[in-house]
Structure 1
Amino acid sequence: MSSAEKFRIAIERFDNALQNCGFLIKGGGDARADWKALAADLGEAFFDEVNQAGIAPELIAEPPRKRLNRDGTAEWSDKPKPLVNVEQLFIKGVCAVRANLVHGNKIELNDRDQRLIGESYAVLELAATRSGRLNVFFSSRS
């Protein structure tokens, strides 16, 4: 299984776990995972731990660009600024990697894509052990 396939499965499981653990975007309608709520639950200490452990240096220093619709043409955004907090790590980091993989026309992955996928996967693995609710959810299913 490729790293991209492994990451897609992991983030889909994670999305499901967030929904089942109460990390849901408020307001009703479609059940959607609330990654900001997860970031708040983990706190800034999680971002510091990721930094200190060195598990996502490129994801933090050079996060992925975003695919934009500019007058009917799909183009990549300008290079984003480095990530500075836990919410950005998930929203502009991990979730952006997923969006680019799924929706960003990433047919062939280059070395940078592979590194960002690997680092995002590592962030998910660590988050699963640091969030009490997610840890219980994943432990009960292994």
Structure 2
Amino acid sequence: MRGLAENLQQENVYVVGAATFLVFQRLERAMKESKLLVVGGEDGLNAHWDGLHKYLPDDFLEDVRARGLAPAMLADPPRKQIQRDNVPEWKEMGQIRDAADLILAVRRVRNNLVHGGKYMPKSAREEPAGKVEQRDRALLLETLTVLDFALDRWPELGAAFDSV
């Protein structure tokens, strides 16, 4: 593995978040430039997150579990940020049952990070700030680890990632 999360173990959630953002940016660029995972046409081009799991081995989730790569994510999957009566809330998501669910959880971490769902003020959260920060940090680090493992398990995407 590339060690995407390795040097971040002692960093605070903000440093981990910034590093995670940069990895997502690089990965999506690799997905587009390699033409491995893209959707769109003349009106736009997007990384095809929904297709990523199809290129991973059937035992990908079992390997992630066996190696202990994402214990927090598997025990309590990332929530989806929704709006109810103009108030942001967190919707509980179902358990991760297969590689498609795991990649969806990684994508949800991405969406929460990129679209401002992480680091919300304490007043907008249901849990104490320290607990939220610890969870956010764990999910970010585990996301990096899962992506790192996916890049190893799908060598073509790994090579594209390494080249950008």
TM-score higher than 0.5? yes
* 2:136 corresponds to 1:113: yes
* 2:89 corresponds to 1:66: no
Instruction: Name the residue aligned to 1:102.
Output: 114
Instruction: Name the residue aligned to 1:90.
Output: 103
SS in 1 for 2:79: coil
Deviations 1:13-62 (A, max 9, x none): 11111112220125653111111221101133211211111100111221
Change (3 A) 1:26 1:48: farther
Change (3 A) 1:105 1:130: closer
Give the structure with the higher percent strand: 2
Contact 1:24–1:33 (CA<8 Å) still a contact in 2? Answer: yes
Gaps spanning 5+ residues in structure 1: where? none
Two-structure CA RMSD over aligned residues (Å):
2.0
Residue 36 (structure 1) aligned to one of 47, 50, 58: 50
Q: Distance in 2 between matches of 1:25 and 1:48?
A: 28
Contact 2:31–2:160 (CA<8 Å) still a contact in 1? Answer: no
Q: Distance in 1 between matches of 2:61 and 2:22?
A: 23
Contact 1:67–1:75 (CA<8 Å) still a contact in 2? Answer: yes
Q: Of the two, which has the highest radius of gyration?
A: 2
Name the % identity: 29
Q: Deviation at 1:107? A: 4.4
Say which structure, 1 or 2, has more relative contact order (CA 8 Å, 6+ apart). Answer: 2
SS in 2 for 1:25: strand
TM-score of the aligned structures, taking structure 1 as reference length: 0.86
Contact 1:65–1:80 (CA<8 Å) still a contact in 2? Answer: yes
Gaps spanning 5+ residues in structure 2: where? 1-10, 122-131
Instruction: Name the residue aligned to 2:148.
Output: 125
Q: Distance in 2 between matches of 1:138 and 1:27?
A: 22
SS in 1 for 2:45: coil
SS in 1 for 2:69: coil
Instruction: Name the residue aligned to 1:51.
Output: 65
Q: How many residues align?
A: 139
Contact 1:60–1:84 (CA<8 Å) still a contact in 2? Answer: no
